[in-house]
A and B are shown apart, each in its own frame.
Chain A
């Protein structure tokens, strides 16, 4: 993975010195909150319902064991012994005290971690495919390019005060595991006549006005990436609306001006920009970064221990069936460690769990750890022969839950249990869905299903692209939950359709059960997934199950 050079280390140290001085000036009264707020947000520090919250970046979802242990140390020393992994490959600490945050920043810097641009109207943490460099379906590792974009966007003087926040995602595979079509810019790696490049998607986003991104450029050579990105962001910086916060994202700029007009402006700006970039220096830097992302040597490994455990142990078999993904090397597997134990908070890991993951990554996983936007942890390079031992070790900390991709593998934002913007809770809804279907022993029968829950219209829980999406709202002072069906965050991205009126807090789990029972009754076979059945059947049978049944109950 990327290793900081002297420039990076000094840049981060200087930034942390600046922030320490800003915090001191806020505490001694030299800065008002209005003056301080944009400064703390640039450094990932929010003030939430019960406390400050520090959002730390995990660039493109990659961590080494040393960094994971550092996160555990921060959780123990300055927080409450846990962290919350988010839907954009960040980790959030929910309980830091303002006066401690400069020390936290310095401590994180010891492991090459920071919180720069994890908030504010800037280019945010660049996200990527959590299976990068391991998936069998990949064209190339997207992370070197993501790192290049991180370096270009960090402290970019022109882009510190954009009309709104700006999110970039990169994938190196045809299969989109990075939700690129729901980002301000999505980059999808493609090859044309042997040359590597990107399909550039722009103007996607969820939130108040959800939009699927549109293709701005079908093929962009890698060498043109930075001048082209700069052309997009500077076009948006000038054209994007600053009069209305709800219309300030680039998705609205694209929608209001049309993709053709945006393309014209971006291409003109790009031609202007290109000579200003030193293409050779960029190429050299990218080559230097790529050298740091060399895939580990993966010696051939006999998988007999795996076969034996698979045959003998039904619990291991269930875990292997759900939590493993094919590796490009057939002797290896990509392991997803579920942070969705039934009844637990989606995405939370205790410091003990973090340390165990770090140890196991060292013992079995070539010291590589990934965090997915689906709020799970991935060990990308595990020899199949080591899987039984890994599974056994994970069980000790409750990390061997066999539910990846199933109904209890729910994305949920922090909701009104933590977030100052939330209009309803998300976490308890996720907890209850997970425990309810676990008690019914239906989870594995239901099969692949993505439920995503947001506690407000800003959609951090990606509910619009959930196969079942749940949106928590405040309806006249009472929590109320709207359901959308048929959303999809993959390369076939589509927004879900609202079923109708929402449900009260104590009615949302029964409502989800009615949808599931309708699916089980009407699917052609267990091989027909919920999403496939929805595409075949449409909304009508689910709507009937949701509302006709409710009427019958009330009668």
Chain B
């Protein structure tokens, strides 16, 4: 069965803070998916992954994740990556609280309404 092939980004968790980071074109790390280096070629992706893996003093658990390219930058293909770039759905914690996600940070997220709003996003 053929699978749709997607562009990819290198993602990991920061060693000290533990939060989600993405490899950038400048060989550093960003907390913003929109600033991630997008790899359209599998060979480049493997090389970038190896580069991320080598940065053991900065990050933990590098892997490649699929993205879709849109006018507003790369968007996660899988819902797990969508949660990682946003934060949990029960509280406005994580990236959504730091103003770097696409969900309003001031949503009182410990209400089911907020849970619905986020799940519908």
A residues within 8 Å of B by Cβ?
26-27, 29, 32-33, 47-52, 80, 94-99, 343-345, 416-418, 425, 427-428, 431-432, 434-435, 474, 477-479, 505-506
Contact = CB atoms under 8 A, between A and B. Distances in A.
Given A51-B18, A95-B93, A478-B79, A29 B84 contact: no
A96 B16 CA distance: 9
Given A32-B56, A33-B60, A99 B88 contact: no
B94 A51 contact: yes
A432 B115 contact: yes
24 contacts: A27-B15, A33-B56, A33-B60, A33-B61, A47-B18, A50-B84, A50-B88, A52-B18, A97-B18, A345-B110, A416-B80, A416-B83, A417-B83, A417-B88, A417-B89, A427-B90, A428-B89, A428-B112, A428-B118, A428-B119, A431-B115, A432-B112, A432-B115, A474-B79
Contacts of B118: 428
Contacts of A479: 79
Contact of A97 (B16, B80, B87, B111): B16
B19 interface: yes
Contacts of B71: none
A29 B56 contact: yes
Nearest to A414: B88
A50 B19 contact: yes
Given A47-B61, A50-B20, A51-B94, A418 B88 contact: yes
Nearest to B78: A477
Contacts, number: 92
Contact of A49 (B15, B83, B91): B83
Contact of A431 (B20, B60, B93, B112): B112
B111 A50 contact: no
Given A50-B84, A51-B94, A417-B89, A343 B111 contact: yes
A505 B56 contact: no
Contacts of B105: none
A47 B20 contact: no
A216 B105 CA distance: 54
Given A47-B60, A478-B79, A479-B79, A99 B16 contact: yes
Given A417-B90, A477-B78, A51 B112 contact: no
Contacts of A32: 56
A47 B62 CA distance: 13
Given A345-B91, A417-B83, 6 more contacts: A33-B61, A47-B13, A47-B61, A418-B88, A428-B89, A435-B112
B57 A29 contact: yes
A8 to B, nearest CB: 30
A349 to B, nearest CB: 12
Contacts of A96: 18
Contacts of B115: 427-428, 431-432
A27 B15 CA distance: 8
Nearest to A45: B18
B18 A345 contact: no
Contacts of A506: 119
B115 to A, nearest CB: 4
Interface string B32-76: 000000000000000000000000110011000000000000000
A344 B84 contact: no
Interface residues of B, number: 32
B111 A80 contact: no
A50 B110 contact: no
A428 B90 contact: yes
Contacts of A26: 15
B106 interface: no
Contacts of A94: 88, 93
B9 to A, nearest CB: 16
Interface in B96-121: 110-112, 115-116, 118-119
A27 B56 contact: no
A432 B88 contact: no
A435 B114 CA distance: 13
Contacts of A416: 79-80, 83
A95 B18 CA distance: 8
Contacts of B60: 33, 47
Contacts of B77: 477
A149 B91 CA distance: 37
Contact of A50 (B78, B87, B112, B119): B87
B79 A50 contact: no
A417 B90 CA distance: 8
B18 A50 contact: yes
A29 B15 CA distance: 11
B15 A98 contact: yes
B79 A49 contact: no
A283 B79 CA distance: 55
Instruction: Tell which of B13, B83, B88 has the most Cβ of chain A within 10 Å.
Output: B88
A43 B117 CA distance: 37
Contacts of B119: 425, 428, 505-506
B33 to A, nearest CB: 14
Nearest to B95: A50
A477 B68 CA distance: 14
Nearest to A100: B16
A434 B90 CA distance: 14
In order of increasing CB-CB distance, the 9 nearest A-B pairs are: A417-B88, A428-B115, A52-B18, A51-B18, A50-B94, A431-B112, A343-B112, A435-B112, A345-B90
A27 B77 CA distance: 33
Interface in B1-25: 13, 15-20
B61 to A, nearest CB: 7
A427 B116 CA distance: 12
A522 to B, nearest CB: 29
Contacts of B15: 26-27, 98
A52 B91 CA distance: 17
B57 A49 contact: no
A519 B45 CA distance: 54
